[in-house]
Amino acid sequence: MEPFLKKLYSPPKLSHKGQNGKLLIIGGSRRYHGAPVFSLLAARRFVDLLYFYPGENDPQLIHAVKRIPEAMVVWDLKHTAEMDCVLFGIGLSDARFDVNFVLEYARSVVVDGDGLKLVKGRVPAGSIITPHEGEFRMLFGMEGTRKNVQSMAKEHSCVIIKKDPAADIISDGKRTVLNTVHNQGMTKGGTGDVLAGLIAAFACKNDPFTAAVAGTYLNGYAGNRLVKRFGYNFCASDLAEELALSLKTLSRK
């Protein structure tokens, strides 16, 4: 999977602000304040501009996000078409937003968590979706085997990352790879939100399959680095902070 890391976009020497990725993250609710925070922390070192649209207008949610200085809170979706990628669903719970507007105007979409319920029956072409086994069955009414993941990715013209404790299955319908780089310390709450934020950041300037494979591998590699320092006693914010150094280490190989 490391070859996909070498294919990742690198900022040109004379690039300007905004040229190297603009990401909008939609999520969070009264119930879940931390989920979008983890996604924002994961993405902030890999894009130029980082925006957040709250799933609910909840003061505690907004306060949590505003503690991340790189994140800019927006209150409408009119700039969706200007974003390189939109991630939605993380921590959304029962909150609602104009998903039809996003699906119509977003250049690239990553759907995670509660957002998967909103695209049941209409998975957007060109998107990246990140279901675990239960969510895969909810979306497609079948077991998340390698064959079925590849078949559904092909049928819906999307990239599927079917998350699994043994091996993640990543497919665009033509190519399918397995990721076994992770550990049991990554069962903690928020690590999936970190993965979603990282993949969405990569999807700003890379094709969806490269973003999915490289992001999944890097996330697991960072988790394995944390095991060497903390054992399995690390948390999602540790994982988010480890990503950039992990990519730097891998880039030297």
- pLDDT value of position 178: 97
* pLDDT per position as a tens digit, 66-84: 999 999 999 999 989 999 9
- pLDDT value of position 64: 95
Sort strands 128-129 and 159-162 into parallel, antiparallel or unpaired.
parallel
- pLDDT value of position 3: 86
- pLDDT value of position 252: 81
- pLDDT value of position 193: 98
Judge whether 194 and 41 are in contact, CB under 8 Å: yes
What is the distance between the alpha carbons of residues 113 and 88, in angstroms, rounded to a whole number?
8
- pLDDT value of position 97: 85
Where are the chain's structural domains?
A: 13-251
- pLDDT value of position 96: 82
pLDDT along the chain (253 residues), means of 10: 89 94 97 96 98 95 96 94 97 90 96 96 96 98 98 98 96 98 96 98 98 98 98 98 97 80
Using alpha carbons, select from 95, 93, 94, 122 the residue that is nearest to residue 109. 122
- How far CA 181 is from CA of 153, 156, 173, 222, in Å, comes to 22, 27, 22, 9
- pLDDT value of position 1: 74
- pLDDT value of position 184: 96
The third-level CATH classification (topology) of the domain covering 13-251 is UDP-N-acetylmuramoyl-L-alanine:D-glutamate ligase (3.40.1190)
What is the distance between the alpha carbons of residues 74 and 82, in angstroms, rounded to a whole number?
13
What is the distance between the alpha carbons of residues 168 and 212, in angstroms, rounded to a whole number?
11
What is the distance between the alpha carbons of residues 134 and 132, in angstroms, rounded to a whole number?
6
- The model carries a pTM of 0.97
